[in-house]
Amino acid sequence: MEFRSIDELDLKGKRVFLRVDFNVPMNEKNEITDDNRIREALPTIRYALDHNAKVILASHLGRPKGAPDPRYSLRPVAKKLSDLLQKEVKLAPDCIGPSVEEMVGAMKFGDVLLLENLRFHKEEEKNDSAFAEKLAKLADLYINDAFAVSHRAHASVEAITKFFREPAAGFLMKKELEYLKKVIADPDRPLVAVIGGAKVSGKLEVLKNLIGRVDRMIIGGGMAFTFLKAKGLTVGKSMVEDDLLATAKEILEMAQKRGLAIYLPVDCVVAEKMDPSARTRVVSVEAIPPEAMGLDIGPESVKIFGEALKGAKTVLWNGPMGVFEMEPFRRGTMAMVRHIVNSGALSVVGGGDTDLAVHQSGLADRISYISTAGGAFLELLEGKKLPGVEALRKR
């Protein structure tokens, strides 16, 4: 790694500002529905505690628009973290200010304090240096373990690093980057990319960047219909981004020039509406009825995609193959999980929907690595530099 790691620092007796990503999903009762992001931060938190540090945790939650909002309080997170660590985690009333400084001053070594939502201050998302300096005043050392937000130039991610001599990465940050390096920078080949999800627009740069890096590419999900229409097919009422048809055609031509095989669906599950109770049928992509929409890949596509994965040494997957949240349209995505697991390849999965689908399959423990990130994962695949990572590297 080209930057320091937490295990290279002397933490004993130090106040450690640990930027984590506790932006976890909540239900209408403000109960956490998935605590995976909290669990993924535990190794770094426990390491700091084991080395007799005072641990000051900072995170955002949701989009409170730069002002306090009880719906986005981190109180449920503090309770969940207390349960997981089996020790009290106090919640500060804010993330800066005299009352917070007083709570930090009262901490004993081995204590954990969770600051209130960083985004209760508009300065966080503006990467405001004065706000970052107030955060930095709370600690002696800075650790970024929030890979999932490191594509954002925010105060607690980028500006804050200027106020510490030795900003460092936590274990989760290191792990995320190590696995993505194995996929992007130095993969065992053949490298197969599986790209799905609803829209082409969010993944244009990913597709263009991967064309020169992967050995085979599988495209499924809603975005496949834009490519199919670009090839001259009629796709009924399937999701299509008409303004990107020329771009989709250009991507297919780029791949052809480079000798890259792109696999598109040959059949799909269609219905007249996106509804769990809708009547479904499997049709060839060349025979989608004008009144129907494609909502999942069909069994022949599953078979062909499975063949494309055979012999792969590395598999990168982002985006489901259909509307897997609904029972009639989940088979394609679940079949892809099984194919990827059975390929025996090093498999790296990223993106919230794909992560959820893999966990629902019951095969998550057989995937090599499931990233906690969505946007940061995609931006790395686009070949972009992440502000949070670069801030550590520069220092």
pLDDT in tens, 142-185: 999 999 999 999 999 999 999 999 999 999 999 999 998 888 88
pLDDT digit string (tens) for 216-259? 999 999 999 999 999 999 999 999 999 999 999 999 999 999 99
Per-residue pLDDT at 382 = 86
State the catalytic residues. 37, 199, 352, 375
Inter-residue long-range contacts of 72-77, CB under 8 Å, 24+ positions, other chains counted: 72/117, 72/119, 72/120, 73/30, 73/116, 73/117, 74/22, 74/114, 74/115, 74/116, 74/117, 76/26, 76/30, 76/31, 76/32, 77/22, 77/24, 77/32, 77/38, 77/114
Q: pTM for this one?
A: 0.91
- B/e letters for 355-372, b = 16+ CB within 10 Å, e = fewer, are bbbbbebeebeebbbbbb
Q: What pLDDT, on a 0 to 100 scale, did the predictor assign at position 395?
A: 59
- Average pLDDT (289-302) is 98
Please give the pLDDT value at position 1: 56
What confidence tens digit (pLDDT) does each residue in 46-101 have?
A: 999 999 999 999 999 999 999 999 999 999 999 999 999 999 999 999 999 999 99
Show the domains of the chain with their CATH numbers: 6-173 (3.40.50.1260), 187-381 (3.40.50.1260)
Instruction: State the pLDDT confidence band at 352, using cuts at 50, 70 and 90.
Output: confident
Is residue 20 over pLDDT 70? yes
Token pair for 230: 């670009």
Looking at residues 385-392, what average pLDDT do you find?
94
DSSP string covering 199-263: -SGGGHHHHHHHHTT-SEEEE-STTHHHHHHHTT---TTS---GGGHHHHHHHHHHHHHTT-EEE
Mean pLDDT, the chain, whole residue set: 95
